[in-house]
Amino acid sequence: MAQTVLIVDDHPSFRSTARILLESEGFDVIGEAEDGASAIEAIQRLAPEVVLLDVQLPDMDGFAVARTIMADGVKSAIVLTSSRDGCDFGSLIAESGARGFVPKGELSGAAISELLR
């Protein structure tokens, strides 16, 4: 059964491309969110198995979103993504509770599956 995914990013072009890409690799994209607040609401509502979460959002950053939903006891696996390199964020990614980080340019279903294994 395909894993459910919520894509959180403020750029529509990225969201649409990511959706096609992940769906083509067998993921079930069940929703999209364009900022932190709507992301938290969608996670709580849709309870996706995977949240592809952009680090940079208009209202709050991806780390804050991660901390919030983790604090709420949400079980979704969080995969952080950014057009920047993962090194740019130092230890923030490791400390965020997320499963891992995938640079946007390298996004693929396989990369996510690798992190979820």
Instruction: Say if CB 68 and CB 37 are below 8 A apart.
Output: no
Looking at the Cβ atoms of 44 and 56, the one nearer to another protein is: 56
By CB under 8 A, the residues from 44 to 73 that bind another protein are 56
Helix H segments across the chain? 12-24, 36-46, 62-71, 92-95, 109-116
Q: Residue 58 Cβ, how far from another protein at the closest point, in Å?
A: 10
Options 11, 35, 37, 92; binder of another protein; rule CB under 8 A? 11
CA–CA separation, 74 vs 82, rounded Å? 22
H or E, element range at 81: strand 77-82
Q: Residue 11 Cβ, how far from another protein at the closest point, in Å?
A: 5
Residues that bind another protein (CB under 8 A): 11, 13-14, 17-18, 20-21, 24, 56, 83-84, 104-105, 107-108
